[in-house]
Copies of this chain bind each other. A is one copy, B any other.
Amino acid sequence: MARKRQMKLSAYLVGTGMHAGSWRLEQAHPGASIDIDYYRRLVQTAERGKFDIAFLADSLAINDQSHPNILNRFEPITLIAALAGATSRIGLVATASTSYIEPFNLARLFMSADHISKGRVGWNIVTTRDLSGSTARNFGASTHPELALRYQKAAEFVNVVRGLWDSWEDDAFIFNKETGVVFDPNKLHRIRHKGEFFEVEGPLNIARSPQGHPVLVQAGNSEPGQQFAAQIGEIIFAIKFNFEDARQYYQAFKERIVSFGRNPDDVYILQGISPVIGATEEEARLKLKRLERLLPDDTIMGFLADYFRELDLSRFTPETASKEAGLHTLNAIHPDYRKHQPVIIRENPTLREVYSLIIGSFSGDHLIGTPEKIADTLEKWFLEGAADGFMLMSPALPDGLEEFIDRVVPILQQRGLFKKDYEGTTLREHFGLPVPPNRFCRQTV
């Protein structure tokens, strides 16, 4: 653990927060998801808290059941380009899918943002889950490709993008004003890729950034997703609801990384957390209850009816226990459900709580309470091999982020678990990640 003696922190920034009722809080700004000044303040807050990353999620389709914060929101690559100018140190990670954009366009967009931020960008690679086909229908595709195919395509896509990013060797540009020589043509490379899914000649019309390549982030949870992440991910984002699950996942994933011949210390696993912070445990619980009450019943039941299409939930209310609704014995068609079912069987939550669990705005008892309790949980997970750091998915924003920074971060810093200031300037430097070598460079002997 020598190199990783301190945990990493990433702030998941989404409008009024992860909780679907957060926009109804008295202090909430419901138009937050489309207010650039709000996002600038949010990312500046995260930078004040010495966070390593501000993280922007994404999706390519919406419907009437979508979370209020994603119905109307910024496209994340343009957003990080804008946020770069409001900050100077924090890493900026944008989500983009490999399923619905040309690799040449994506390579350019991310590398451009990486230059704009002077080397602080990361790409959260997703392949897009699209059970209803609504994403496919936004892109003229009759059907969304199935999981395994999506990851095959993603692997080729990422390979093409990384090749394009290496089009120019770092010392290709000469700019000799005397002789008029602009660049050394031997240091400009075409990938000439002809693969199963893509044909791309290159070169890219933008050179490598101060950190070489944007950092690759991945959150694949399925088997093909985890294989892909273990091969190419530099930062892994997972969500586990208790220490034992998190530790098992962490250990298994690090072994998976080793199985691909990679150094497990070069890959950081961040566990998603949605803490609810109070001066006392009781205050924190009350706060969560208040949030839960802000979820309209039909939002919850509409979402669950869509998620559990194979069940008839029409007789139930959000207060029905999950066992009564048939969730404990369900062999769900939703691929996501497998990870939730053990928790649901163990704790028999109400349907309201099941909803929160699924949409990721609930993390379990160990993250509800005083700043000390939350710091204790993070310390345990970090020191006992369940996490290299955390993705803070605050139920309510900006409050949840501010409270965490003002009340939890100082404890972590005091305990030596988190840095007191940035040391480097690029995202790779924050994580001690190596600058990727240029694939076209002759190795020095």
Q: Do A60 and B203 touch (CB < 8 A)?
A: no
Q: Do A138 and B74 touch (CB < 8 A)?
A: no
11 contacts between A and B (CB under 8 A): A71-B183, A71-B205, A72-B168, A73-B206, A74-B115, A78-B81, A82-B84, A85-B85, A100-B105, A101-B101, A180-B295
B residues near A36, Cβ cutoff 8 Å? 84-85, 115-116, 118
Given A24-B177, A59-B205, A72-B206, A140:B200 Cβ within 8 A: yes
Q: Do B24 and A198 touch (CB < 8 A)?
A: no
Given A24-B177, A78-B113, A82-B116, A205:B62 Cβ within 8 A: yes
Cα–Cα distance between A168 and B82 once the two chains are bound (Å): 24
State whether the Cβ of A112 lies closer than 8 Å to any Cβ in chain B: yes
Given A61-B205, A72-B173, A78-B116, A198:B140 Cβ within 8 A: yes
Considering the complex, which residues of chain A in the window 40-77 have a beta carbon less than 8 Å from any beta carbon of chain B?
Answer: 40, 59-62, 64, 66, 68, 70-75, 77
Cα–Cα distance between A158 and B294 once the two chains are bound (Å): 41
Give chain B nearest CB distance to A297 CB in angstroms: 9
Can you name the residue of chain B whose Cβ is closest to the Cβ of A195?
B140
State whether the Cβ of A421 lies closer than 8 Å to any Cβ in chain B: no
State whether the Cβ of A296 lies closer than 8 Å to any Cβ in chain B: yes
Q: Do A206 and B34 touch (CB < 8 A)?
A: yes
A residues contacting B by CB (< 8 A) are 21, 23-24, 26, 28, 30-31, 34, 36, 40, 59-62, 64, 66, 68, 70-75, 77-79, 81-82, 84-86, 100-102, 104-105, 108-109, 111-113, 115-116, 118, 134, 137-140, 168, 173, 175, 177, 180, 182-183, 185, 188, 198-203, 205-207, 294-296, 299
Task: Knowing that A78-B112, A180-B296 touch, tell me 4 more A-B residue pairs with CB under 8 angstroms.
Answer: A36-B84, A70-B205, A72-B207, A137-B200
Q: Do A205 and B73 touch (CB < 8 A)?
A: yes
Give chain B nearest CB distance to A230 CB in angstroms: 28
- Return the contact of A81 from the options B21, B59, B79, B118 (Cβ within 8 A): B79
Q: Do A102 and B104 touch (CB < 8 A)?
A: no
Number of copies of this chain in the oligomer?
A: 2
Q: Do B109 and A34 touch (CB < 8 A)?
A: no
Give chain B nearest CB distance to A66 CB in angstroms: 8
Give chain B nearest CB distance to A11 CB in angstroms: 19
Can you name the residue of chain B whose Cβ is closest to the Cβ of A28?
B177
Can you name the residue of chain B whose Cβ is closest to the Cβ of A21?
B180
Can you name the residue of chain B whose Cβ is closest to the Cβ of A208?
B72
Q: Do B30 and A175 touch (CB < 8 A)?
A: yes
Can you name the residue of chain B whose Cβ is closest to the Cβ of A136?
B201
B residues near A198, Cβ cutoff 8 Å? 140
B residues near A101, Cβ cutoff 8 Å? 101-102, 105
B residues near A40, Cβ cutoff 8 Å? 85
Cα–Cα distance between A202 and B134 once the two chains are bound (Å): 8
- Return the contact of A139 from the options B68, B113, B200 (Cβ within 8 A): B200
Q: Do A78 and B75 touch (CB < 8 A)?
A: no
B residues near A113, Cβ cutoff 8 Å? 78
Q: Do A182 and B68 touch (CB < 8 A)?
A: yes
Cα–Cα distance between A188 and B72 once the two chains are bound (Å): 11
Q: Do A203 and B112 touch (CB < 8 A)?
A: no
Cα–Cα distance between A23 and B180 once the two chains are bound (Å): 9
Can you name the residue of chain B whose Cβ is closest to the Cβ of A181?
B296
Give chain B nearest CB distance to A3 CB in angstroms: 31
Give chain B nearest CB distance to A17 CB in angstroms: 14
Cα–Cα distance between A177 and B100 once the two chains are bound (Å): 36
Give chain B nearest CB distance to A386 CB in angstroms: 34
Give chain B nearest CB distance to A264 CB in angstroms: 33
Can you name the residue of chain B whose Cβ is closest to the Cβ of A67?
B182
Q: Do A138 and B200 touch (CB < 8 A)?
A: yes
Give chain B nearest CB distance to A301 CB in angstroms: 13
Cα–Cα distance between A24 and B182 once the two chains are bound (Å): 9
